[in-house]
Amino acid sequence: MSEHDFGDLARRDTERHLLIAVDESDNSRRAVMYVADFFTGNQDVFITLLSIIPEPTEDFFPTEEKRQQWLTEKRTAMDKILAGYKEILLSAGLKDEQIEIRLSIRPCTSIGDAILEEQAKLRCCIVVVGRRGISHNEEFLFGSTSSKILHHANHCAVMVVE
């Protein structure tokens, strides 16, 4: 399915469509492993592995060329990580046609909001995220993606894996 083509979503409404929101962290890997363990053998489960990379503004780079270079490197690294996560799911017995990878590089003010936008578009019934276990103070200063999703998710279940 292409990035903007959601034509086959009607079919997915009848499936158990899980969205696993991941990054490069160990927590994300644990979330993927948990789903692999929990849902193995379910033929009607469809899993989207989603990674959001917030597009940094020009401020962080001396030139636009450097910014583009960063984006390319980030995309390459994340593609590799996502392929690894997919391999975990395949190794657990899920089939290739049950898994989709989405990597979205976009300007975003909140990663949690961006994940929930994707959830709404894809009409996933469960959002799965890992939790970093950040401190109270860190959450105060920078926010927490898992808390954001827990507080703002609509029309879906949320699974937070520690």
Partner 1 sequence: MAQPGEILHEATIREFITNYAGSDRVPVRFKIITDTSDFFRVEYNDVVVLGDVPYWVKRCEKEGRFGLDDEPKFWVRRAVELTTGATRILKLVFHEEFQTVIAGIKMTCFRSPKKEARLLDLVAGHKNFMHGRWVLDAAGNNVRILEFIRGPRFDDVVAGYGTDHHDYFHHYFLQVLDQYIELVQAIKFLHDHGEKHGDIRRDHIIWDEETQANRWIDFDYNFQQGESLFSFDMQGLGNLIIFLAGRGDVLVPDLYHKQRALFDTLWGEDLSIAYKNRVANLQKIYPYIPDSLNRILLHFSQGANIFYETTDQMLEDLATARADMVSLTGRQS
Give the interface with partner 1 as residue ranges (CB under 8 A).
56-60, 107-112, 135-145, 148
Closest CB to partner 1 among 10 and 141? 141
The CB-of-120 to partner 1 minimum distance in angstroms stands at 18
Minimum distance of partner 1 from residue 110's CB (angstroms)? 5
**Pick 18 or 114: Cβ nearer partner 1:** 114
Pairing verdict, β 126-130 and 157-161: parallel
Q: How far is the CB of 56 from partner 1 (least distance, A)?
A: 8
Q: Which is nearer to partner 1, 44 or 142 (CB)?
A: 142
Smallest CA-to-CA distance from 105 within 48, 61, 67, 59 is with 67
User: Which H, E and C letters describe 74-103, residue by residue?
Assistant: HHHHHHHHHHHHHHHHHHCCCCHHHEEEEE
**Residue 145 C-beta: closest distance to partner 1, Å:** 5
Nearer to partner 1 (CB atom), residue 41 or residue 62: 62
CB of 141 to partner 1, least distance (A): 5
Sheet holding 126-130, edge to edge: 99-106, 45-54, 16-21, 126-130, 157-161
Provide the token pair at 136: 């109270």
Distance CA(112)–CA(82), nearest Å, equals 19
Q: CA 5, 91, 25, 137 torsion: positive or negative?
A: positive
Closest CA to 100 of 41, 144, 45: 45
Nearest residue (CB) to partner 1, 38 versus 70: 70
